[in-house]
Amino acid sequence: MDFEDTPEQAQFRADVVAWLDANARRRTDNLLRGMEGEQAFLEAKDWYARKAAAGFACLTWPREYGGAGLTPLHDVIWAQEVAKYETRDAQFVIGIGNCGPAIMHFAEEAAKLELLPRMASAEDVWCQLFSEPSAGSDVAGLRTRAERKGDDWILNGQKIWTSGAQHSDYGVVLTRTDPTVSKYRGLTMFMIDMRQSGVEVRPIKQMDGGQHFNEVFFNDAVVPDNYRLGEVGGGWTGALTVLMSERLAISGVQPTGFPQFLDLVKSLELNGEPIANDPIVRERLATWYSQYAGLQAANKRMLTAVAKGGVAGAEASLGKLVGAVMNQEIANFACQLFGQAGIIQEDELSPEQAHFQKTVLFSPGVRLAGGTDEVMRNILAEQVLGLPQEPRADKGMAFQDIPNGKG
């Protein structure tokens, strides 16, 4: 890994810092700001529009698609500097990070030229419609149907855990178009207008009080064939493109909780003594620091490989697996340190503005989003370590013949 900026990269870094100084406030702490609600959404829309106007949106995308035509290392520089400011930079990471690459790979050129620049500036907001009540970890087990009718497709079914669907203008949806072949071969991916007739979005009230996730229902929703992404029956290839992009995008914004915990250890006292003197706290701090430093190095190694012409591989799953577990464990441990104050969720009354209490409530969802721990372990085992695949009883079986527990 090479951590030194070239002269061109140093100039780009200086330009980024100058623009951020003029357009955002520097952070005074490591606390992660909430991303919920209408106000946060409007702030993010405004932020992305200003980024795009300044030439900092979607740095690696071609210019004709609304990007800056730069390298992944420019993306790294931006991420390093923007982390020092209070912004809404990660608000639309799913649409831009997941849906954007799928459209770039599989959409017709006219659709790319029309839709991608609007996505880059958040003029249009996108969501990803994959998971279903009976197809979460096993995405290929989905049952949302798309049936051909002339030049259109008719969609019926349900998606769940769709982040940001209530604010989205468009989505990328994975459907089943042929149940007579294996579950991987009978899938087709489409773009869909989320505001059209036949699409119903129902926000899910979470235990942390937010409504980030949604259920989405399709009732005879009509999608034109020119909104198809890839070949009929080729949806699994497209889905893998989205999922690999998702893991790379998530690996860059996955909260670990460690910077916030380090700040807490520096400031908190227990029974009149600095909590940093407690041997259990010191042991946990050392363990989590080693994991955090390892993730930072692994992410930089992966980005260096991409910058040299490689692709984001299954290694991106490591950040999700380790980081999400750390985030939950740190939050639970911190709330135990607070004692009875650990149940207080008022920003003004709780240490660190109740960051850890809120994380306790939200972190189980982070463990699931983008793939469960078990899915991440299988990916790393099979695609990175080269271990044998897990036995799959439905391998080669037509989807319609797979037992589903409904008799």
Per residue in 54-102, pLDDT (tens digit) is: 999 999 999 999 999 998 788 888 988 998 999 998 889 888 988 999 9
Of 91, 118, 147, which closes a domain? 91
**Could you give the angle at which helices 316-337 and 235-253 cross, rounded to 10 degrees?**
40
Residues 171 and 274 occupy one common structural domain: no
The tens digit of pLDDT for each residue in 14-27 reads 999 999 999 999 98
The tens digit of pLDDT for each residue in 317-354 reads 788 889 999 999 999 999 999 988 888 888 788 877 88
CATH number, domain containing residue 179 = 2.40.110.10
Residues 325 and 275 occupy one common structural domain: yes
Residue 405 lies in a domain: no
Residue 394 lies in a domain: no
Residue 402 lies in a domain: no
Alpha-carbon torsion (129, 130, 134, 136), positive or negative:
negative
Q: What is the pLDDT of residue 66?
A: 95
Backbone angles phi, psi at 157, to 5 degrees: 150, -165
Residues 258 and 380 occupy one common structural domain: yes
Residue 99 lies in a domain: no
Catalytic residues: 246
Residue 308 lies in a domain: yes
Residue 398 lies in a domain: no
Of 41, 72, 91, which closes a domain? 91
Residues 182 and 302 occupy one common structural domain: no
Helix ranges, 180-278 (H): 235-253, 258-267
Whether the pLDDT of residue 177 is over 80: the answer is yes
Residue 403 lies in a domain: no
pTM score, whole prediction: 0.87
Residues 264 and 372 occupy one common structural domain: yes
Of 91, 106, 138, which closes a domain? 91
Residues 271 and 164 occupy one common structural domain: no
Residue that wins the pLDDT comparison between 58 and 247: 58
Q: How far is CA 238 from CA 38, 126, 372, in A?
A: 31, 16, 20
Contact 66, 121 (CB under 8 A): yes
Please list, in sequence order, all residues whose beta carbon lies within 8 angstroms of the beta carbon of residue 142, skipping any fewer than 6 positions away.
Answer: 130, 132, 134, 135, 157, 174, 175, 176, 187
Residues 228 and 260 occupy one common structural domain: no
Residues 148 and 270 occupy one common structural domain: no
Q: How many domains does the chain have?
A: 3
Residues 262 and 380 occupy one common structural domain: yes
Mean pLDDT of the residues in the chain = 88
Residues 58 and 145 occupy one common structural domain: no
Banded pLDDT at 373 (limits 50, 70, 90): confident
Banded pLDDT at 3 (limits 50, 70, 90): low
CA distance 402 to 179: 10
Residue 114 lies in a domain: no
Which residues form the domain of 351? Answer: 254-384
